[in-house]
Structure 1
C-alpha cells in the first residue's frame, strides 16, 4: 500500500486522500449521531435499566417517581443517562438499603455500564463507517461527466430550489439526532451536601454528586438520608476490614505452590467482595473457587452481586463455580459464564496448580450438568451418580483432586470410595473441617465446608454490616494436589480470627 502511494501521481494521490478524508468526516458524524441515540437495557442496581449515551460528560440516574434524580461527572467526554425501570423490591426502605450496599462496592455496576456503552460505541462506528461510504460510492458511480451536467443544472433557478430543499431535509433529519437530548424541561440541580443539610456528614467519594430538586418531597429527602447513612456504614466497615486484611498472619506460599481463594454463600453481600480480594492478595492467591449461593433467589435483579464478584476477580488465572440451592434457575450460571467463570458439565477439567477438578450445581435448584433433564432424582441418587463419575475418572487415570459442590454431603460417597482428594462445599453457613476421611481401600481424602462469606443469616446478607461471621478459605495446591487449607473469619465487630494452616497428607 505504501509503495503504491509513493508511485501514484500527485493529483491522483490528492483525490484519494480527499475521498478518505471525506469518508472519515462523514463516518464520524454519522457514528456520533447514531451513538447518542442508542439505547441498551441491562440490569443495574437491581433494576431493569435503560442506558442512553451522550456527550455531556455526566452520569445522570433517573430514579423514578419518588426518589430524586442524581447526577455526577463521568470523568470523560462521554456521558450516560440511566433510566431505572422495574424492580422486585417490596418497600422503598428495602430498595434504598440495596442502593447503599451497591454504592459502597460499585465496580461491578460500573463495569456493566462500561461494557454497554462500549458495545454501543462500536456498533455506531461500524454503522457510521458503512453509511459514510454511501455518498462517496454514489459520487463515484455518477461519474465525472454526469457530475458536470448536474453541477451546471444547479446554477439554474430550479437547481437552486432543489438544492435548498435537500439541505433542509438533511438538517431536519440530522438535528433531532444532535449531541444531547432536549426533550426534558429545564432542571434544577443542587449538591447532595446542600440537599441533605449540615446535620449529615458526607464522605469525600460523593462530593460531586448532585440531586435534582424539582418536585422533591420531605419523604424522599429522608430516604436519601437513610441511603447515605447506610452507604457510610457499609463503606466504613468493609473498607476497614479490607485494609486490615493486609496485616493478617497468613501462611506464605512456597515455590511451586498455587493458592486458591474460596468463597461460598455470599447471598448478595457485595461489600465482602473487596474484603475477599484483600485476603486473596495477602495470602498470595491467584485463583478463586466459588461454592455457590451468590444470590438469595437467583433472580435477574441480583445481577449486581454477580457483576461485583466478576469485577473483583477479573484478573485471576482461574475462576471456578457451582450454583447453590438459592441460585434458582439458570440465570446465575449463565450470567457468570458470560463473565468468564467456569462451570461444569459432568467432565473432569483442568483445575488450579495443574490439578484436576470436577464440580456440579446443586440439584435442588439448578440441575446437575447433563443430568439436569432427568427429573425426580433424589439427593442421594445424585450423590451416587457423582461418585460413579469421579471413580470412573480415577480408574481411567484422571483422578479428581478437587470435587466442588454446594453441599459437601453431595460429595461424601465419592470420598468414602476413595475417588477424590478433597471435597469443597458450603451451604450450612458454618465452617467445618478440613476433616480426613479414610476409604475402604485405605486411601485418605478430605472434606471441607466453608461458612458464609457474605455473613448471611438464612439467605439474607445485604446490609451495612455483617449479620453473622463471614468466612474465607485459602487452599494450597502443590504437584497437582491440594496440600493445605487455612480458614479466615471476619467477626461482626470487624475482628479477624485466623486458623492455623492445616496440612493435607495422603
Structure 2
C-alpha cells in the first residue's frame, strides 16, 4: 500500500513538472511499461527522471502487487475461517438449547373391563392448585462486540483485514491500543487515515496512543474520526472507557525513548484516582501495561487492555481486575519491517461485553500467519476475579465497587 502511494506521488510529480517543458514534443517518449496494470497505465513520463522510473519503478510496482496479493489472500482466508467458526458456535448453541431426553412413555391405559387404579393421594373438595411456572427473566441487552487491534506500526496492508473482521464479527466498537504509526511523523498521516477509514461507518473507534505515536499523528487520527483518550472517561455503546496517551515517546534515530513529562508511575496513579472518583469505569485502555497497575490494584477498574510488547498474554487477574495484552496486529517482529507481507503472525481480538453485568464474557483470537492463512479460536471464557475477604488482614476495607466473593460494578 505504501509502495503504491509512493509510485503515484513520484509519477504525478514528474508528470506535472514535465508538462511545462514545451520544447519537448508531445509524445516524444512512449508510455512507461512500469505502470502497466496500475492506475497510471499508459502514462508518459518525460524529462530526465523518465529513465529512472523505467529502471527502478518496476521494483516498487512489483512490491505493491505482492503486497496486495498477500492481503487479498489473507482477507479471503479470514472470511472462510470466521464463517466456519461461526457455524460451529451456532451448532453448539443449538445443541445446548435443545431439550433433554424425552420423558418415559406413560403406561397404556387399562382395558375397558379393568377397574381404574385408585389414586395414591387423597381427594379433596378444594380446588386444585397448579404448580406455577417460574417468572421469565427480564429481557437482557445483547452483548457488545469489541474488536481490539494494537501496534499496527503503519502496516496499512492489514487495514482491509481489520475492516473485514469488524464487519464479519458485527463489531459495535473498535479499540486501538496504540503504536499506530512507526515514528510519529507527519508523513504517516496516510497510515492513521487508512486505519480510520477501514472501520465501518457508524462504528466508534477509540484510541489510546502509544510511545511510537505523537501529538501530530494523534491529531490526524482524531480528524479522521477516531476518539482519542486523554485521561477522562468516554462512553461507547454503554461501555465506560478510561485511558490516555503513553507517558513515553520513542523516536527512532532521534535519541530513543524519553518521557513526555509525566512518569509512568504518576500517570498510573492519576488514572487510578480518576477511575475511583468516576466509580463507573468498565475498561482501562492504555498502551503500556504497567501503567494500569495502580488502577487494577485499586479495584476501581475491572478490566484492562494493552499492547506494547508485540506478544499476547491471555487475560489473567492482576490486582482486583483482569488484564489482557494484545499482540501486534502488524505482525511486528524484532528487526523486521512492518511494511509488505507479514514477517510475523498478526493478531486481532474479538471480545463480548455484557452491559447487564458490566463484565466481559469471552474473547476470540484471530491470527493471520506469514503464509496468509488465518486461524480463529473458539470463544474463550473471560476469567472471574478471585477476591479477598471483606477486610484485609490489617482491617482495611475493600475499595469502592468491590464485594467479597464477586467483583460487582459500582452504582452509577
* Residue matched to 1:168: none
The corresponding residue for 2:277 is 392
Q: How many pairs are equivalent?
A: 317
2:345 to 469, 474, 495: 469
Structure 1 position 347 matched with structure 2 position 232: yes
CA contact (8 A) 2:174 2:205 kept: yes
1:315-394 paired onto structure 2 within 5 Å = 315-328=201-214, 330-351=215-236, 353-365=237-249, 376-394=261-279
Question: Is the CA contact 1:68–1:211 (under 8 Å) kept in the aligned structure 2?
Answer: no
1:299 aligns with 2:185: yes
1:234 is aligned to 2:67 = yes
Q: Is the 8 A contact 2:350 2:365 kept in 1?
A: yes
Residue 300 of structure 1 deviates from its aligned partner by: 0.4
Distance 1:448 1:475 in 2: 11
Taking a change above 3 Å as real, the CA distance of residues 302 and 408 of structure 1, as seen in their structure-2 partners, is same
In 1, distance between residues paired with 2:369 and 2:224?
Answer: 31
Q: Deviations over 1:91-117 (max 9, x none)?
A: xxxxxxxxxxxxxxxxxxxxxxxxxxx
Distance 1:232 1:327 in 2: 28
Question: Is this contact kept in 1: 2:269–2:294, CA < 8 A?
Answer: yes
State the 1:482 CA deviation. 2.6
Partner in structure 2 of residue 148 of structure 1: none
Between the aligned partners of 2:260 and 2:177, the Cα distance in structure 1 is 23
Q: Which residue of 2 aligns with 1:493?
A: 371
Deviation at residue 317 of structure 1 after TM alignment: 2.3
Change in Cα spacing, 1:68 to 1:348, as seen in structure 2 (3 Å) is closer
| Inter-partner Cα distance in structure 2 for 1:469 and 1:187 | 50
> What aligned pairs does 1:255-334 form with structure 2 within 5 A after superposition?
256-313=142-199, 315-328=201-214, 330-334=215-219
1-structure distance, mates of 2:242, 2:315: 19
What is the aligned counterpart of 1:446 among 322, 346, 350?
322
Quote the offset at 1:219 in angstroms: 4.2
When residues 305 and 182 of structure 1 are mapped into structure 2, their CA distance, relative to the original with a 3 A threshold, is: closer
Structure 2, unaligned stretches of length 5 or more? 94-140, 251-258, 385-406, 408-412
Contact 2:348/2:365, CA 8 A, preserved across alignment: yes
Aligned-pair CA distance for 1:421: 1.9
- Structure-1 residue corresponding to 2:306: 425
Q: Structure 1, unaligned stretches of length 5 or more?
A: 1-43, 48-59, 71-80, 84-180, 197-201, 367-373, 440-444
Secondary structure in structure 2 of the residue aligned to 1:483: strand
Structure holding more helix per residue? 1
SS in 2 for 1:63: helix
Residue 461 of structure 1: how far off its partner (Å): 4.0
Matches of 1:409 and 1:498 in 2, distance apart?
A: 28
Q: How does 1:116-195 map to 2 (within 5 A)?
A: 183-185=20-22, 187-188=26-27, 190-192=30-32, 194-195=33-34
> Alpha-carbon deviation of 1:476?
1.2
Query: 2:302 aligns to what SS in structure 1?
Result: strand
What is the distance in 2 between the residues matched to 1:497 and 1:45? 28
Q: Distance in 2 between matches of 1:338 and 1:471?
A: 26
Indicate conservation of the 8 Å contact 1:264/1:451, yes or no.
yes
